[in-house]
Copies of this chain bind each other. A is one copy, B any other.
């Protein structure tokens, strides 16, 4: 018991600290490079210490996702339902862009956790108030949610591809090697395809398509 024993003090860890640090690591090094061992090292702790707070890696992922979902702003009121829908969708999108790991966290394991329910509550409330019947509201919620998820994840993937020079080069050469007789339209529209990839205008274009199609459904 000579106190020379340099054991770490007792309560250095907490779920919040772990989640926060995990998030930082995922954002600085990329989600795929994230590992429990790396996280433990960053926290100055053995890998197994994390298992005191989380049952396994997926459980930690759940917590991080839940934490991120909690950052979503509330739905604005006092504006037409179309604008409320737009606001909710854009909030989710911009959160995903700000925290690229969120896309993979959402893809890996569908809705669960209190915070995910909160965003559903917001969107469903808007739709119900706008006069959608129960079933249409549910369907619309799923449609909007999956659209935001799919298009934003895609955008993030494309951006990541562009950052990896090797992958980007391969993509370009594949594109350019396409025979103009076999793929006339792709070749003709190549400039538009690469110019319009991603970005707010692309996102808003699809979102407005959905909302336009939605209007006849309000009672």
Contacts and interface: CB of A to CB of B under 8 A. Distances in A.
Given A107-B153, A150-B150, A209 B209 contact: yes
A202 B141 CA distance: 10
Contact of A138 (B110, B189, B209): B189
B113 A206 contact: no
Nearest to A154: B146
B192 A135 contact: yes
Interface stretch (A10-18, A19-27, A116-124): A116-124
Interface in A172-193: 174-175, 178, 182-186, 188-189, 192-193
Number of this chain's copies in the complex: 2
Chain A interface size, under 10 / 10 to 19 / 20 to 34 / 35 or more: 35 or more
Contacts of A200: none
Given A110-B158, A112-B174, A118-B183, A149 B150 contact: yes
Nearest to A188: B134
Given A147-B146, A158-B110, A124 B210 contact: no
12 contacts: A107-B107, A113-B174, A125-B184, A128-B185, A134-B188, A134-B189, A137-B189, A142-B206, A143-B151, A147-B206, A149-B154, A212-B213
